[in-house]
């Protein structure tokens, strides 16, 4: 349970998340394109999953009992690559190859290029359905692994997202957890000004999910929610993680501008300064 996670461990996760954020800035800067805003907002959720909650083994990416993570918002690829690199799934230097010809680090995550990726995603509303399939597979095979998927809030405007949510609820997938990176913004602006998704918590509840509403940048709350999800086995869990788009970089926070725009050299320098020089 989360209360077993010491404050020292949480401080460590916070340091890891900060390192991930620096890598996100560096790699999107090197690539000259990408999605920093939604990568920075989902960083803490990913750090909690990859460095604490999930059963993973970098030496055995095909370990049958590993927990699965499907990044349904596949454009947050830089955040996942950063987490996987720091966790030992790929060399850290490789992060600089993001989006370049011949790289394993595609603009949107690709399982056929990088084995640590569970499912290739990018077009929205699909990863969540694949995750439902993986959870059904685990149940059929009587494996104990859990399946996590991270969806975006713009993605909640997509019909197939709700199809997949309906299926997860119908099949009462106790091994399935949906994390919503509720950063409030999509490409063109705020979700509520474009196509409102609220009341999102009510919607998940109506779809038969054990639903939790948390601060997606508070590791104590994130780990508590993931532990609570583990304790509920008769239905899936939805975690609405309230996050800040561009979290950690002042000029990227709370705006849609950096949804799909990489920082310039000067912006990257400023961002890295804000995120602190690595030890």
Dist. CA 78–CA 75, nearest whole Å: 8
Of the candidates 102, 112, 234, 277, which one interacts with another protein according to CB under 8 A?
A: 112
Comparison of 65 and 192: residue with beta carbon closer to another protein: 65
Comparison of 83 and 130: residue with beta carbon closer to another protein: 130
Cross-strand partners of 71:
150
Comparison of 107 and 248: residue with beta carbon closer to another protein: 107
Is residue 135 a contact residue for another protein (CB under 8 A)?
A: yes
Is residue 141 a contact residue for another protein (CB under 8 A)?
A: yes
Cross-strand partners of 176:
147
Q: Alpha helices, DSSP H only, in 49-150?
A: 77-86, 127-140
Tokens of 122: 């990018």
Site string for another protein, 70-109 (x = CB under 8 A): x---------------------------------------
Spell out where 154-254 has E strands.
176-182, 185-186, 189-190, 210-215, 237-242
Is residue 134 a contact residue for another protein (CB under 8 A)?
A: yes
- Closest distance between another protein and the C-beta of residue 228, in Å? 24
For another protein, which stretch binds (CB under 8 A), given 16-24, 83-91, 117-125, 262-270?
117-125
Give me the residue label for tokens 């830089």: 78
Q: How far is CA 148 from CA 62, 141, 154, 248, in A?
A: 17, 17, 19, 24
Residues that bind another protein (CB under 8 A): 70, 110-112, 118-123, 125-138, 140-141, 159-160, 163-164, 166-167
């Amino acid at each position: 349970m989360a209360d077993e996670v010491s404050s020292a461990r949480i401080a460590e996760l916070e340091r890891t998340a900060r390192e991930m954020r620096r890598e996100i800035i560096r790699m999107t800067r090197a690539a000259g394109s990408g999605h920093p805003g939604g990568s920075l907002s989902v960083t803490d959720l990913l750090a909690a999953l990859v460095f604490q909650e999930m059963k993973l083994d970098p030496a055995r990416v095909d370990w049958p009992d590993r927990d699965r993570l499907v990044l349904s918002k596949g454009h947050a690829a830089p955040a996942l690559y950063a987490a996987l690199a720091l966790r030992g799934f790929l060399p850290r230097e490789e992060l600089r190859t993001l989006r370049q010809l011949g790289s394993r680090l595609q603009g949107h995550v690709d399982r056929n290029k990088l084995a640590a990726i569970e499912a290739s995603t990018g077009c929205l509303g699909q990863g969540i359905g694949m995750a439902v399939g993986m959870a059904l597979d685990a149940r059929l095979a009587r494996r104990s692994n859990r399946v996590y998927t991270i969806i975006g809030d713009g993605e909640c405007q997509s019909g197939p997202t709700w199809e997949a949510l309906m299926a997860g609820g119908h099949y009462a997938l106790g091994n399935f957890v949906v994390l919503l990176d509720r950063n409030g913004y999509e490409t063109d602006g705020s979700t509520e000004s474009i196509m409102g998704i609220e009341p999102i918590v009510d919607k998940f509840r109506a779809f038969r999910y054990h639903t939790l509403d948390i601060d997606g940048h508070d590791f104590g709350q994130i780990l508590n929610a993931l532990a609570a999800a583990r304790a509920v086995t008769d239905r899936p869990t939805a975690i609405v993680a309230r996050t800040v788009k561009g979290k950690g970089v002042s000029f990227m926070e709370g705006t849609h501008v950096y949804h799909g725009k990489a920082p310039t050299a000067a912006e990257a320098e400023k961002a890295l300064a804000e995120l602190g020089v690595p030890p």
